Structure 1
Amino acid sequence: MRELTYYVAVSLDGFIAGPDGQFDAFLAEGDHMAPICARYRGTAPRVLAEAAGLPTEDGPFDTVLMGWNTYAVALPTLPSPYAHLRQVVITRHHDAPEGSEDVEFTGEDPVALVRRLKGESGSGIWLCGGGALAAALADEIDHLALKINPVLLGDGIPLFGSRGYSPAAWRCTAVQSFASGVTLGEYSRA
C-alpha cells in the first residue's frame, strides 16, 4: 500500500507560512539544500529544478497532493508546477486555471481521496500543503519530513491548521542538522 508523507518547511514555532502565505523567511540557500534535495528529489517545481540542475526523476513520490492556497502560490507563472508528478489539488471553490491541463482538481473529501490513492499502484504520495489540509488528513499521514528552519514567524499558517487537542504519537526515524541552522526531522507514526 502506498504511503502519505507530509514533507514541508516549518518554523521553530510551528508555522509553514506567514499569515498571508509568506514563506520567504525560510532558507532557500545553504548546506542543507543539496542533501535534502537529493533525499526528496522531485519535490522542486520542474522549472526551478531544471534551472538549478536538480533531477526530478526517481524520487520517493509520484503524486503530489495540495490544497488550493498551496497550489495558488505558483500562479499565474506555473499553472502546472510539478508536471513530472501526478498533481492533485483539493478545492471546492476554484476552477482550473488556464494551462493547468496536467493538474487534477477535485472537491472530493480529502480522507476518501487519500484512502483511494493509497490503494492505487505507484510510489509515495507527497502532501506538500497546506496546514488545514494536513489537519484534515492527520490520521492518514504515515510519515512527516520537516525542514525545520531556524526562524520564529510569530504568526501564520500552523503546520496542522486548527486540528484541536488530539495527541498522536510519532517515532523519530532520522534527524540531520546542518550548519545553516536547518534541521531535517523525519518521523513515522508510532
Structure 2
Amino acid sequence: MRSVTYSMGVSLDGYIVGPDGTFDWTAPQPDVFRFWLEDIRHVGVHLLGRRLYETMVYWETAEQEDSLSEDEREWAALWKALPKVVFSTTLEAVQGNARLRSGGLKEEIERLRAEPGEGEIAIGGAGLAAEAAEADLIDEYRAMVYPVLVGGGIPFFPRQGRRVDLELVETRSFSSKVVYLRHRVIRQASGRSAGPDVPR
C-alpha cells in the first residue's frame, strides 16, 4: 500500500511559519535543495492546501526564467509533471497538472491508495497534515530541522490530543547545519497508531 508522508522545513522549536508569517529561514542551501530534488522523485502525487499551493505555483512557470540553476530547472520540471490535488474552499481554479477539491481528504487518500500506481502520497502544509493525522492516515513524518528558534507561528506537528509513537528510520546532517529527521508511525496489528489517547 502506498505510504502517506508529511514533509516540511521546521524550526528547532517546531514551527513551519514564524509568528510574523514568514519562513525565510527555510530557504534551502544547495545541498538541502539537492536532497529535496532526489526526494520528490519518489512522490507519486502531492496533496496540498491553498497556502502551500500559492507558494509553490511559482514553479509551474519558473523554467521560463534564465536565472535558474541546473538543479532548479530539474526541480521545476519534476514539480510541473507531478500530479497534485489542491484542497481549498476559496480557489476557483488551479494551474498545471493539478485538480481542485473542496474537501474529502480521507476519501481522496483512500481512493489513491486503492488505485494501481507507484510513488508516495505526499502531504504538504500543516492544516492538511493535521486533518490527515486526526484520521490516522500519516505513515511518516519527515522534518528538515533548521537551527533557528522563531517563538511561535504555525506548528509542524498537529496538535491532535493523541499520542503517536514513532520510529526513527533516517537522519542526515547538511553542511548548512540543517538536520533531516525521518520518523515512521508505529502501528498495532489493528492498523491504528500505537499508544493510548491522551485524556482531555
TM-score interval for Structure 1 and Structure 2 normalised by the shorter chain: 0.7 to 0.9
2:181 matches 1:185: yes
Spell out the pairing of 1:124-139 with structure 2 (5 A cutoff): 124-128=120-124, 130-138=125-133, 139=136
Structure label with greater radius of gyration: 2
TM-score by length of 2: 0.75
- The superposition leaves residues 116-163 of structure 1 with CA deviations (integer Å, 9 ceiling, x where unpaired) of 1111122211112x11111110110111111111111112111134x3
**Conservation of the 8 A alpha-carbon contact between 1:146 and 1:186:** yes
Structure 1 stretches lacking a partner, 5+ long: 43-58
Check conservation: 2:171, 2:181, Cα contact below 8 A. yes
Task: Output the CA distance in 1 between the equivalents of 2:51 and 2:31.
Answer: 29
Query: Which residue does the alignment assign to 2:101?
Result: 106
Gaps of 5+ in 2: 62-75, 187-200
Q: Which residue identity is paired with 2:152?
A: D
CA distance in 1, matches of 2:38, 2:59: 24
Shift of 1:37: 3.1
Query: How much is the aligned-residue C-alpha RMSD, in angstroms?
Result: 2.1
Give the aligned partner of residue 88 of structure 2.
Answer: 91
Give the distance between the partners of 2:153 and 2:183, measured in 1 at CA: 23
Higher share in helix = 2
Shift of 1:31: 4.0
TM-score relative to the length of structure 1: 0.79
Identity %: 30
Aligned residue pairs total 167
Question: 2:7 maps to what in 1?
Answer: 7
Match of 1:45 in 2: none
Partner of residue 36, structure 2: 37
Q: Secondary structure at the match of 1:141?
A: coil
Q: 4+ residue runs of structure 1 moved beyond 6 angstroms?
A: none
Contact preservation (8 Å) 1:26, 1:151: no
